[in-house]
Chains A and B, each alone.
Chain A
Amino acid sequence: MNSAQRIIAHFDLDAFFVSVECINNPSLKGKPLIVGGRERGVVAACSYEARKFGIHSAMPMKTAMRLCPHATVVGGSRGEYSRYSRWVTEIIAAKAPLFEKASIDEFYLDLTGMDKYFNPYQWTIDLRQEIIDKTGLPISFGLAGNKMVAKIATDEAKPNGYLHIAFGREKEFLAPLKVNKIPGVGEHMYQALRNLGIETIDHLAAQPIELLENRFGKYGADLWNKAHGIHHGAVVPYHEAKSISTENTFEENILDTDRLLNELVHMTEKVAYELRQDNKMAGCIAVKIRYPDFETTSRQTTIAYTFYDDELIPKAKDLFHKLYRQGQPVRLLGVRLSELTDEAVQTNLFSNVEKKTELYKAIDDVKNRFGSKSLTKATGKK
């Protein structure tokens, strides 16, 4: 296996939304800045200056404003972000042999085998510089033998830095870090591990694998491997978004079917809005449910191409009812739209699609101005 030693780089744009806002309005530079919906919204991104006040993304806007009342809040413009994201993608695509766009501001590059001709570390440093010079966006990277270690390295290198973890030194690098640095370990898992007295990654790695397996099932074994710096995930070549999805791990497992349905409506609205923002329509919808024992089930169905909430929501509910085992608490709920295609609205005999299109344009205008959660179905409200 060692002969096939991989070289993976992970790139991540620093405070991406904030950086874009600063390019478009240089007067914001160096100030605490928050991107996100006003009033009821949450923080989508914040500048490093804002982070000093304890603000972090996904924090309710109200809390953020209490922590730093003088912060500038901007609504954000998805279109502008995806334009910059595409620009960075193009620069990477022109150079990298194989890369994966993991999200709007994150990329994995597989440089395996390049070491025969170049120094991959220097090559990656040059690529980073090129991105910074051309776009003006700060970006960090981590270079390592697999995706997970590379991602953690990027995290450590931020802001605006880079880090190379040499082969064989992964464990040494991971050892002192807190377990919640491992991708996939959320607040929930972090607490669960702390309850077991596990705080740092070396501590986690020292546990017998059986203990973790007993406690967390298959996920536990996965976690143990990650703590040892072992991860086999492949860099999947970049394609334009094939699906739009959202999922929500609940703070407490939910047993109330009505609440789950409300959650589902809310999530479907969210992905449908994103779909319309990308001028796409979806031909397939899927619902995913994870139970507290991490058993994950999902179900999908093909649909007539659409991007309207009122057509997607009944389908999502139908799938949910077919999938959900009544009376079981739910840990995670997800909705995914796939089979995306460019917008081409099929008019309907029995409903006035022209009027409906205008209605959704108006809804989306409101969402664009006041945040994606400013206008939602009453059932989707918590």
Chain B
Amino acid sequence: MKFIVSSSALLKQLQQISGVINANTVLPILEDFLFDVQKNQLSVVATDLETVMKIQLEVEAKETGRVCIPAKILMDSLKNIPEQPLTFNIDKNYAVEITSDNGKYKVMGENPDNFPKDPVADDTNSFTVTSAALVTAINKTLFAVSNDDLRPAMTGVFFEMDKKGLQFVATDAHRLVRYKRTDVSCPKTDSLIVPKKPLTLLKAAMPVNEDELTISYNSNHLFVTHGTTQLSCRLIDARFPDYKVVIPSDNPYKLTVNRTDFQGALRRVGIFSNKSTNQVVLSISGSQLQLTAQDIDFSFEGNERMKCQYNGEDLQIAFNAKFLIEMLGATDTEDVTVELSTSTKAGIIRPGDQDENEELLMLVMPLMLNT
């Protein structure tokens, strides 16, 4: 088999999917890309058995055929080859010879029949969403996903679908993010949990524009299609915790602050906090918010005051500064409101003003103050 392809076009496409491949895999063939040539069309697949990504591009080819090519060496060479047409020659024993203006390179491929099969997209439900909406949803939720393998349900983002919208929820039991889109209509009321890795890959591969993505799912898999790029992944088979009951509906106190000022203060004061707990104490009194942190082991102390609007009783509450900084980073409005009740109950962060078809709610649990 022989085909000719532009080196830079191939590299650009492969970079979208090479993230699927793990550095240390159990099966050596998982370190390969599957190349499949059909009528001037090359499709390339990468998989880790959980997540599969596929791209397609135009090539010049007279024959059809398939081969597995080791991903790392191919990527490394493409990165160093200047833009030009490359000729790939594959013989019966799956030896791959790449010819460029600069010279010839040879690498041993593998039998494509040993490459894992794609999951079958049968019995699916589908809906469409703009690429920008999905990328935004991932950006706003992914950071709150748990890394605790003992609680698999929380290691992914919970998708909740119904006819009136699509909702994304992520939590690690210490904080929770709920992001709702009302400009999407799903065929029926349903839910699923998508693992972290495919979402990270999607975030990098999908453009932030109004392109339409098709999302399909069945009981085991999620399929996302953008033009000729496809991703499929296995879903997390677990029950997502009943998060609705833990969102307080009656936090009486409202604290409104400038988002960037608040984030800046947390960043500065947080440097002086205990490195493991990142504890920053917020003392709110009238229109003044005081942030304090200390690390007893090193005798570090940080202290700042800033203006705020507050309608409640004087309150002292401690949070992990890292959590707050990440949450403020997931919002883009000028002001944010923090709804509070007591020093041991959840605080709710909302962006100042939101677009009409999206709604973001973030919840953060405090650190207990020992007195």
Interface residues of A (CB under 8 A from B): 240, 281, 283, 304-305, 314-315, 318, 339, 341-351, 353-354, 357
Contacts and interface: CB of A to CB of B under 8 A. Distances in A.
20 contacts: A281-B277, A315-B150, A318-B150, A341-B275, A341-B276, A342-B296, A342-B297, A343-B370, A344-B274, A344-B368, A347-B346, A347-B366, A348-B173, A348-B174, A349-B174, A349-B175, A349-B243, A349-B363, A349-B365, A350-B173
B256 interface: no
B173 A349 contact: yes
B277 to A, nearest CB: 4
Nearest to B149: A318
Nearest to A340: B276
A350 B276 contact: no
A342 B274 contact: yes
Contacts of A342: 274, 277, 296-297
A341 to B, nearest CB: 4
Nearest to B318: A344
B78 to A, nearest CB: 36
B277 A347 contact: no
B246 interface: yes
Interface of B: 148, 150, 171, 173-176, 241, 243, 246, 274-277, 279, 296-297, 318, 320, 344, 346, 363, 365-368, 370
A353 B344 CA distance: 9
A318 B150 CA distance: 9
B246 A339 contact: no
Nearest to B273: A344
A interface, over-half SS: mixed
A344 B295 CA distance: 12
Contact of B174 (A339, A346, A357): A346
Contact of A349 (B148, B346, B370): B346
B274 A354 contact: no
Contacts of A315: 150
A75 to B, nearest CB: 25
A297 to B, nearest CB: 20
A335 B71 CA distance: 41
A346 B150 contact: no
B307 to A, nearest CB: 27
A350 B363 CA distance: 13
B276 A345 contact: no
Contacts of A314: 150
Given A304-B148, A357-B368, A347 B344 contact: yes
Nearest to B367: A344
Contact of B367 (A347, A349, A351): A347
Given A305-B277, A349-B363, 18 more contacts: A283-B276, A305-B276, A314-B150, A342-B296, A342-B297, A344-B277, A345-B367, A346-B277, A346-B367, A346-B368, A347-B365, A347-B366, A347-B368, A349-B171, A349-B173, A349-B346, A351-B173, A354-B368
Contacts of A347: 174, 344, 346, 365-368
B344 A354 contact: yes
Contacts of B171: 349
